[in-house]
Amino acid sequence: MTTMTKNTILHKTLARALSMKRPHNSEGTRRLTDWLEDNAPAHARIHRDGAGNLHIDARVTSENRTLFVAHVDTVHREQGPNKISKTDTHWYADGAPLGADDGAGVAILMHLLHAGINAYYIFTQGEECGGIGATFVSKDVEFLQNFDRAIAFDRRGIDSVITHQGYGRCCSDDFAQALADALNADMTLMYLPDDTGVYTDTAEFTDVIPECTNISVGYYSEHSVNEKLDIVHFVALAQRCALIDWDSLPTHRDPKVVESKWGSAYSDYWVSGAEATKIGR
């Protein structure tokens, strides 16, 4: 069975994130964001933007064109400690949402940072309030043009590489299949392209970044007291992601072409109705 050693950055980040309730613009989000900054690799370039998003730039060449995204806030309505229970295979909520949405994604980003994956990382604010932090980032088109792909780890389940968010395409089928193949390379995981995504932060970048997706991270029943995280899958995913050559993935989608799930007739609805899609994953 895949295990997670307690002294690793993966375990430390996950345990810290899930131990506190983190409604947007709360002491919980501030404390976690501060901790992420304090525990970033020494070589990384760090700043916070006007929305409070934490940017960690670990690129070393102009060929590093991957953006990783995870959000620090949760759906909790109150602040304070968050109780969790654990078995060898799952971590469970105990009286309130677990917060693996998106504490699990935050932990994977920290794991990749410390594994030496040369990319750009943003820990966003306010995703659960309509993508506040990501919307702020999306206004900087010149910045987003540095990337060919934007990857979020904020999807329920264990097998999705999201190709559509809401009614619109966010990445090409070729990219999704190549990423699924890379995730499945050691035959431990079983990912597939999935066109049933709804919304996460990367949806805000599709007008500029060609390949934007969301990857299943192993949580279920998010936003509820029944939330749980498949810890075996979570660890296997983190370990596999550290072995992928992200910058070798194909770039095929033209961000200037708006393509809906059902064809161009629905494209205008996707654009005009984007705000209405900001629920779920």
Backbone angles phi, psi at 172, to 5 degrees: -75, 155
- pLDDT tens, the chain, 281 aa long: 566 888 899 999 999 999 999 999 999 999 999 999 999 999 999 999 999 999 999 999 999 999 999 999 999 999 999 999 999 999 999 999 999 999 999 999 999 999 999 999 999 999 999 999 999 999 999 999 999 999 999 999 999 999 999 889 999 999 999 999 999 999 999 999 999 999 999 999 999 999 999 999 999 999 999 999 999 999 999 999 999 999 999 999 999 998 876 554 444 443 433 433 344 46
User: Residue 247: what are its φ and ψ, rounded to 5°?
Assistant: -75, -5
Q: How far apart are CA 162 and CA 155, in angstroms?
A: 8
d(CA 137, CA 141): 8
Instruction: Give pLDDT, residue 36.
Output: 98
pTM: 0.93
- DSSP-derived secondary structure for 170-221: -S-HHHHHHHHHHHTTTSS---EEES-B---GGGGGTTT-SEEEEEE-SEES
How confident is the model at residue 63, as a pLDDT?
97
At 147, phi and psi to the nearest 5? -125, 145
Q: What is the H or E stretch that residue 148 is in?
A: none
Contacts of 246 (CB under 8 A, 6+ apart): 66, 117, 119, 149, 151
Q: What pLDDT is stored for residue 271 in this prediction?
A: 42
Q: Residue 93: how many CB atoms within 10 A of its CB?
A: 23
Contact 218, 102 (CB under 8 A): no
d(CA 42, CA 20): 26
- Tokens of residue 36, six digits: 């992420």
Nearest to 137 by CA among 74, 73, 203: 203
Residue 50, classed as helix, strand or coil, is: coil
Kind and range of the H or E element at 259? Answer: none
The per-type count for the chain, helices as H runs and strands as E runs, is: 8, 16
* Cβ contact 90:231 at 8 Å: yes
Rounded Cα distance between 190 and 236, Å, is 11
